[in-house]
Amino acid sequence: MNQAVTPQKASRLTQLKNRLLKVIMPTHVRRGFFILSLASYVLKQARPDTILAHQLVNQLDLPCKPRVLYLAMDNNQSIWSGLQSAFDCLENHDDRAVGSFVDEVIRSMPGWMPYSNTRLMRQDAIRTLRAARTYAQAA
């Protein structure tokens, strides 16, 4: 028997997946996924960058080993596939443009990823964009 997946079933499966991932992944790992995947996304990296991972873990005081977060860097395109606008971290962006992009990041993140209140996630996103810019300028 071949049953088609209805939009309601797909939505329900997504909700269940999000709940399961929130339970399985500790808060600090979800935070690390958020930061490292976002940095890799704006830097347009297709593969994990060990130097970037170590720098961000140290710079943003993430309580996990960089190796744990390579998967986030490797899957940045699928994690952030919902983003509609691009962000060039080498351009000079005013606070309004950065805020607008960060708002879109918060809205488009996968349902399993939120790890804290929106204010902290916004701060982490802004710090991540600054760190990505510094990293890109040094490269």
Q: CA-CA distances (angstroms) from residue 52 to 77, 110, 131? A: 17, 23, 9
How far apart are alpha carbons 107 and 9 in whole angstroms?
Answer: 23
pLDDT given at position 68: 81
In this predicted model, what pLDDT tens digit does every residue of 22-35 receive, in sequence order? 888 888 889 999 99
Beta carbons of 20 and 52 less than 8 angstroms apart: no
pTM of structure: 0.83
User: For residue 54, is pLDDT > 80?
Assistant: yes
- Give mean pLDDT, residues 3-31: 81
What is the chain's mean pLDDT, rounded?
87
> How do residues 76-128 score in pLDDT, each as one tens digit?
988 898 888 888 877 878 888 899 999 999 999 988 899 989 999 999 999 99
d(CA 86, CA 77): 12
